Structure 1
């Protein structure tokens, strides 16, 4: 049976609840429990690794037996495996839930299959409700599940004519305060912030995440410097609250594999045109984050250089996710157009 209006509204709420949870190795998931007549009787979300999953969190807020015949509206397909916690599919069945509506199928090899298991047990299943919104929320986590490596966001700021700096190399500040604040917020959401050694030598960035007042934010990404040259003893990155990593090789896939082994989930690439272009050229940029300032610089210091395109037929086509005005600047978020959404699961 297609989702009702009450279930669609509940899914909007579930996605909002999911966003309260922390980004990381575990997905952000929200759940809303509807009575047999469509009223919200409970809700919950995943609070972090080792805590109850969203469905169990929502069920735990109900008196025993009151979920019988209810509908569970969940942003991610209920899991079907035992990790730090038990399978949500079993918990829903044992609670007497009669119908499960979810947005995104779980792509995990061990965790997927909850919907099929519940259907086989007689529970009504409705997949794909607000799937696009659910996929956007879980984008970085889904990348890790699908590709087995961290999600990579490549960020740059540019003038309206595509320059990252003036001809003398100066680039502070191309964009305004609102755009810079947005960048620092996104740094704080990443596990690692990557910069090329050329940028470290030229600009001496601190690679910290700061508040608009200049104070350090609570969460700081691990600085990663890529390039063969040495980092100066007085470089600002050496004063970063977290120890930096320095990798001299050019194999970005190997670097990402190492970061994955360290438990890294999200990488924020913010270290100059050479590094940004290398990630794009290697096909390792999952998201492009560009800030366009209404300023003209001319010259040759482009925001990107060689990305492996020699003819228009080879152009790397992107899909625009959003365009927003931040002060006088534009923020454009785009992803590779050929990237397919995960289909494993229901």
Structure 2
């Protein structure tokens, strides 16, 4: 299984499909073939491994796979059926496929007389597929809401200036986290006021290899000369209403994680809607005062209605502090909770 995990890591970590690896073993335990999934539209890990064997060579074999073989026909056929037709006798996998359409491969295998074992090295595969599994189970990307503020909760001075509240180490951390996200979101108010590039850059200002897809929320038009139009990826724009529907559309595009960068209106909208799965709060040891708060109205009328989070880490970054917090109830949505699941599984 650990070899299957190594193979899975060779596949793309972004997009609609998960990273999956497969090792085929002979009845006596020798490795017959290996395979992994290379991205949407390509052979799945199980089929990739089977393709390296002559007909009949997999009869009686054991398939060790990181994810439950799919039971869905999309751009490729069901892996469960491919294993059955190849004569595989046993399948061992780590994590169930949460897809409404693609799940059920284990049941199909058992019905065909194949021995199935689930849960081997599940924690390791859960960690590898963390964002993909979250998006598949929730029907939307994981949402990380970030803001930087002074100790008194101000995101800018009275005149609107905000660069730079935090120091270099904090800004470096932000760019590292931008690069790790599939997409980065901004509201049109912040876009028009600050003209952000929404790119991930190193300390010298050079673009990092990984760049998040820019997403704009709001009805106002993006100016022709806006910096976002020079982003390596074409931006996506939504009108700002119906956040759950917009997130579902992003999930359908293969966006597994969304980094909400600015500004107060957009951050507050995600928080008030209960759509923030992680908070990144960069606190600078400064006092600014004035009306430019980091957050706006959250719909909280009494202290009993406060949106409660718990700290998962506190980190010193130069002179600043990064507070990472997650909802107190459960940061991972329960499996199968949303009926409107939209994130395709490996079967697409």
Q: TM-score, normalised by structure 2?
A: 0.76
Does the CA contact (< 8 Å) of 2:138 and 2:335 recur in 1?
A: no
**247 and 112 in structure 1: CA distance in 2 versus 1, 3 angstrom threshold:** closer
Please tell me whether the aligned partners of residues 265 and 295 of structure 2 are also in contact (alpha carbons under 8 angstroms). Answer: yes
Q: 1:1-346 residue pairs with structure 2 within 5 A?
A: 10=1, 12-22=2-12, 23-38=14-29, 40-62=31-53, 64-148=55-139, 150-158=140-148, 161=151, 163=153, 165-168=155-158, 169-172=161-164, 174=166, 176=169, 178-187=172-181, 190=182, 192-211=183-202, 213-217=204-208, 220-229=211-220, 231-232=222-223, 234-259=225-250, 266-285=257-276, 287-290=277-280, 292=282, 295-299=284-288, 303-311=294-302, 313-318=304-309, 323=313, 328=318, 330=322, 332=324, 334=326, 337-338=329-330, 339-342=332-335
Bigger mean CA deviation after superposition, 114-123 or 249-258: 249-258
Change (3 A) 1:213 1:48: farther
Q: How far apart in 2 are the matches of 1:173 and 1:36?
A: 63
Preserved CA contact (<8 Å) 1:105 1:343 = no
Q: Return 177-186 or 19-28, whichever deviates more.
A: 177-186
Gaps of 5+ in 2: 338-348
1-structure distance, mates of 2:222, 2:205: 24
- Alpha-carbon distance in 2 for matches of 1:47, 1:274: 39
Which is worse superposed, 205-214 or 310-319? 310-319
2:144/2:257 contact within 8 Å kept: no
- Where 1:270 maps in the other structure, the secondary structure is strand
Please report the TM-score for the alignment, with normalisation by the length of structure 1. 0.77
Q: CA offsets per residue over residues 217-249 of structure 1, 9 Å max, x none?
A: 566544332235554554322333444344444
1:42 is displaced (CA, Å) by 3.4
CA distance in 1, matches of 2:79, 2:107: 13
Which residues of structure 1 form unaligned runs of 5+?
A: 1-9
Q: What is the DSSP-based 3-state SS (H/G/I as helix, E as strand, rest coil) of the residue aligned with 2:262?
A: coil
- Tell me which residue corresponds to 2:340: none
CA apart distance, 1:51:
0.8
Q: CA deviation at 1:155?
A: 3.3
Q: Judging changes above 3 Å, is the alpha-carbon distance between structure 1 residues 32 and 174 closer, same or farther for their aligned structure 2 residues? A: farther
* Structure 1 residue 52 displacement after superposition: 0.8
Q: Describe the shift of the 1:16–1:268 C-alpha distance in structure 2 as closer, same or farther (beyond 3 A).
A: farther
In structure 2, C-alpha distance between the alignment counterparts of 1:37 and 1:218, rounded to whole Å? 44
Per chain length, whose mean CA-contact separation is higher, i.e. which structure has more relative contact order (CA < 8 Å, sep 6+)?
A: 2
The aligned residue for residue 341 of structure 2 is none
SS for the counterpart of 1:33 is strand
Q: Check 1:39–1:253 CA distance in 2 against 1; reply closer, same or farther (3 A cut).
A: same
Compared with structure 1, are the counterparts of its residues 159 and 267 closer, same or farther at alpha carbon in structure 2 (3 Å cutoff)?
closer
Aligned-pair RMSD on alpha carbons? 3.5
Judged with a 3 Å threshold, the aligned counterparts in structure 2 of structure 1 residues 174 and 157 are, in CA distance, closer, same or farther, namely farther
Aligned residue pairs, count: 327
